[in-house]
Amino acid sequence: MAMKIRLARGGSKKRPHYAIVATDSRMPRDGRFLEKLGTYNPLLAKDDERRVVMDLERVQHWISKGAQPTDRVARFLEAAGVREKAVRNNPKSAVPGKKMSEMAAKKAARSAAPADAAEE
């Protein structure tokens, strides 16, 4: 059984509140879970200690049994000092898309054209 430690969304529209749960990866996001490990309230200030509340002992228990935390939960664990900080690198995020690179090339050609005309 592939175990995950992930967020299950609760709360109403535009007022999210998440439960940190241990679940089988085949279950739906807000569906059945094995154990509730904590809560996450993104509406609270980032420095508020109630923003992320976890039972770290139970989280460690599930990780020892082979549960894999999702990216967001892994970041919470890194902030709590339970997990080593992973190196993240997304080199494609800074590369412009096809349309934007075409626009940049046209703009460069336009700006180079008056400079060439001034030299002659």
Residues 38-51 have a mean pLDDT of 93
Segments making up each domain of the chain, as ranges: 3-80
pLDDT in tens, 4-23: 999 999 999 999 999 999 99
3-state secondary structure at position 91: helix
Q: Which residues contact 114 (CB under 8 A, 6 or more apart)?
A: none
Provide the mean pLDDT of the chain: 88
pLDDT given for residue 120 in this prediction: 56
Q: Given CA atoms 3, 71, 78, 31 in this order, what sign does their dihedral have?
A: negative
CATH top-level class of 3-80: alpha beta
